[in-house]
A and B are shown apart, each in its own frame.
Chain A
Amino acid sequence: MPNTFDVIVLGGGPAGYVAAIRSAQLGMSTALIEKEKLGGVCVNIGCIPTKALLHSAYIARLLREAKDFGVDAGTVKTDYGVAMQRSRRVSDQNSKGVEFLMKKNKITVAKAAGVLQPGRKVKVGGEVYEAKKAVLIATGSRVKGLPQIGLEINKTTVISSDEALFLEKAPGSLAIIGAGAVGMEFADIFHAFGTKVTLIEALSRILPLEDVEASDTLTKSYKKRGIEVIPGAKVKKGTPGKDKVTLEIEAGGATQKFEVAAVLMAAGRAVNTEAIGLAECGVQVTDRGFIKVDQNLQTTAPGYYAIGDVAGPPMLAHKGSREGVYVTELLAGKKPQPIKYDNVPSVTYCHPEVASIGLTEDQCKERKLDYVVGRFPFSANGRARGTGETEGFVKILRDKKYGEILGAHIVGEHASELIHELAVARANEYTVEEVELAIYAHPTMSEAVAQAALDSLGRAIDM
């Protein structure tokens, strides 16, 4: 049977393509079905191109401040279109990389829309693929607008990240609705390219899921730079015109009305669960629209598994990839370690970067945990002073009795890299003392991690 495989993966994003590779490594014949480019949102219209654009933004800011460092770059001119083109090349390279990995692992790739059918089958165009072991649903998610207040995405004046990533020019002014990771990153990018940015968040602070101190530091940093930040704001009405949008928002008891060239919707995502035959196969969804799964990520239909965004939050590429590995190892009869969902790092790549793992301080309070805070500011770190990147801090929440690292929060340059030391520590149940036991090279940003660990024990050296 040419169309029979051990494992069929529906969706070629970071959950699906990683699952396909691991499946093939484990000796299972594997097919991957993807209707668009391999790599999914992450590689094509998400993580990867935004990181390219953020680096362009970083360079622009660096050059503007370079005079202080003895380098006069003159008047810095930026061109969003050029930065965008470069980000596209980066995405394409990554997508081709995934394609190469599919070939290398002898994975059958079908570039078409797949629809699930009962009996572990998937209809792909005119053909029907059949899985001997399992079908993995990894169809991911997409951006969503707020049609109830008139802000339906029209792709010209009301846009999502999907359009923002393909603009030839940075807009003169931009209101970003939603100050989670996506909103924060685009605020950083467009501000660096000369756009007047207004960042609007419904909850009481930007980055509402992060530790309060992280939100505070970023609020200060953005305001200092000239980005308008309006938290606790309710968008009452949005009226898109031909080349502008009139917004009416209510914040702090007052209503204000203003015009912007464009609105970027960065609030929330919807999972792709429509028209893929879920109901026909008995795959149920939760009240919130995610696919219902058990602890092995099997759906309500035996032989159908869900991984990545469709399987529930956190909707992060690296969480999806791990789920893909986990499920394929289960299918191959291995006994993978259960996924620790409380140990998935969360990173926002704005400047300064924000990275965290585990509980926030507020969550420790809510759970009535007996904890001690260890803190160390980068302003006291020699390396950070040298590079002029003194914004931010490392904050470690230590369990008072046993020294468990309950949570860690880093704001600062390279926070996205620094967090992994604490991810490894938590995954292996190291206590604060094991972190401190290591010898840290001097001078490095990483020393701030050790000093925060020491501070939680009441004996920081450099502060």
Chain B
Amino acid sequence: MATNVYMEALSPTMEEGRVVKWHKREGDAVKTGDTLAEVETDKAVMDLVARADGVLRQVSATEGQTIPVGNVVAVIAAPGETVGAAPAAAPRPAAPPGAVSGQRGPAPGDGSGERGAVPSVATSADATRVKASPLARRIAKEAGVDLKLVTGTGPGGRVTKRDLETARRGVQVEARPTAGQPTPQREVPLPAPRSQEIVSEGPAYDDVPLTQIRKTIAKRLVTSLGPIPHFFLTTEVDMERAAEARDALNKQLGDQGKVSFNDVIIKATALALVKHRACNAWFQEGHIRYWNEVHIGMAVAIEDGLITPVIWNADRKSLALIGREAKELAEKARSRRLQPAEYTGSTFSVSNLGMFEIDQFTAVINPPEVGILAIGSIVQRPVVMDGQLAPRRRVRITMSCDHRVIDGATGAAFLKTLKQMLENPLAMLL
């Protein structure tokens, strides 16, 4: 019996996916779990895997083609099996009578409560046995939910009632943003000036189709700078003592990892947020959600845009751990292997363009968060200290605030605490 290969929702907000590359070709033998194709979602490139054993047939999506979630892109058939006309996007093929010997017995949990002959979800050809509790199966069946698309958190990854409830809520929840900073757009080249002297060799312009992630960024950014009343606060922070602390820490850590300035700033930001809960919030329809936990979104530039992986409970993590996690998340982001759970749910964000030698800039708020920090380069500047001119390492930090939640004095108080923490890193130990 043939099994359809669907374009699956590989992220919570994915509505369509672009087939980047087929790893298996028409006629290839495939096993459950094999990567069939790479699919670009709105957030990352992810693997579309085989959900049955057999031979790949009727590959209907070509590389580069964008396919809505739920549509059939291929079929996995038994060797030698003849497959009919291109399958429709039906949720599941019906089992032909007597097609498979050794059919399973009746499954428990028929709605009528009778000992009815309800075919079990997994048949022997459709080898994609979904692990799910009987109750979850029953609820999924009546609600028309495909259990394959639900992440199980029960023993051995089985889908439980709670997972279905979480999944159901996920559908209603607005997509979490990835916008974090006004990264330079990948510019579409402007038409060359029509000058007699200059004769361009190539075409006057190139039209580049929007990738999924650019579409998402575009969508998110206009929902940010448009409706959110931003205002900006800038402060200059002396980083000499933070630098000393960092050097001492790294010496201590040796080859067990490295702490960067960005890690120090993330930790200090998280600790300052604990003291200024007003800035650690989400602006939502009809209410403000003040978070008691601090999850810092860390903007990471990637080849084609940016994404903000999250350092969970950053206020309670050691600098060494933050350093390790930040490095891991940034690497995953660059190779576009972040899982949705790793880039959603932050309560405040930090964007750092220090490595690009930007002195200071303003970042775009990552809604529904209400604030974001823009970190410039750490540069030596002449500073007057105790009446003497001294070269000091300084950084300019600009906070973008959502005026619907944060007022000038609120944001300023938070920045003051942050500045004190960074200028006196020992305060972080308090």
Contacts and interface: CB of A to CB of B under 8 A. Distances in A.
A437 B110 CA distance: 12
Contacts of B399: none
B290 to A, nearest CB: 17
B135 interface: yes
Interface in A428-455: 428-431, 433-434, 437
B361 to A, nearest CB: 35
Contacts of A433: 108-110, 113, 134
Contacts of A404: 135, 161
A204 B381 CA distance: 77
Interface in A262-314: 302
Contacts of B110: 433
B133 A429 contact: yes
Interface string B111-145: 00100000000000000000001111011001000
A402 interface: yes
B91 interface: no
Q: Is the interface of B mostly helix, strand, loop or mixed?
A: helix
B109 to A, nearest CB: 5
Given A429-B161, A431-B108, A457 B135 contact: no
A434 B109 contact: yes
Interface in B122-180: 133-136, 138-139, 142, 154-155, 160-161
A401 interface: yes
B109 A403 contact: yes
A429 B136 contact: yes
B316 interface: yes
Contacts of A459: 113
Given A403-B109, A459-B113, 4 more contacts: A402-B142, A429-B135, A430-B134, A433-B110
Contact of A457 (B113, B136, B138): B113
Nearest to B113: A457
A274 to B, nearest CB: 28
Contact of B142 (A401, A428, A429, A458): A401
Interface residues of A, number: 16
Interface in B240-259: none
B113 A428 contact: no
Interface string A371-409: 000000000000000000000000000000111100000
B274 to A, nearest CB: 12
Contacts of A437: 108
Contacts of A429: 133-136, 154, 160-161
Given A302-B316, A428-B133, A429-B160, A402 B113 contact: no
A148 interface: no
A437 B154 CA distance: 23
Contacts of A75: none
Nearest to B316: A302
B134 A434 contact: yes
Contact of B113 (A302, A403, A434): A403
Nearest to A404: B135
Contacts of B135: 402-404, 429-431
B154 A337 contact: yes
A462 B30 CA distance: 53
A18 to B, nearest CB: 20
Contacts of A337: 154-155
A403 B154 contact: no
A431 B154 contact: no
A106 B230 CA distance: 61
Nearest to A432: B113
A302 B316 CA distance: 8
B147 to A, nearest CB: 13
Contacts of B138: 402-403, 431
A437 B105 CA distance: 12
Contacts of A401: 142
A297 to B, nearest CB: 15
Nearest to A428: B133
Nearest to A426: B135
Contacts of B109: 403, 431, 433-434
Contacts of A302: 316
Contacts of B134: 428-431, 433-434
Interface string A239-262: 000000000000000000000000
Interface string B325-359: 00000000000000000000000000000000000
Contacts of B160: 429
A408 to B, nearest CB: 15
A302 B113 CA distance: 50
Interface pairs A-B: 4 shortest CB-CB:
A429-B133, A429-B135, A433-B108, A457-B113
A404 B142 CA distance: 14
Contacts of B316: 302
Contacts of A457: 113
In the complex, which of the residues A402, A404, A458 has the most CB atoms of chain B within 10 Å of its own CB atom? A402
17 contacts: A402-B135, A402-B138, A402-B139, A403-B113, A403-B135, A404-B161, A429-B133, A429-B160, A430-B134, A430-B135, A431-B109, A431-B135, A431-B138, A433-B108, A433-B109, A433-B110, A433-B134
A428 B154 CA distance: 9
Contacts of B155: 337
Interface string A330-367: 00000001000000000000000000000000000000
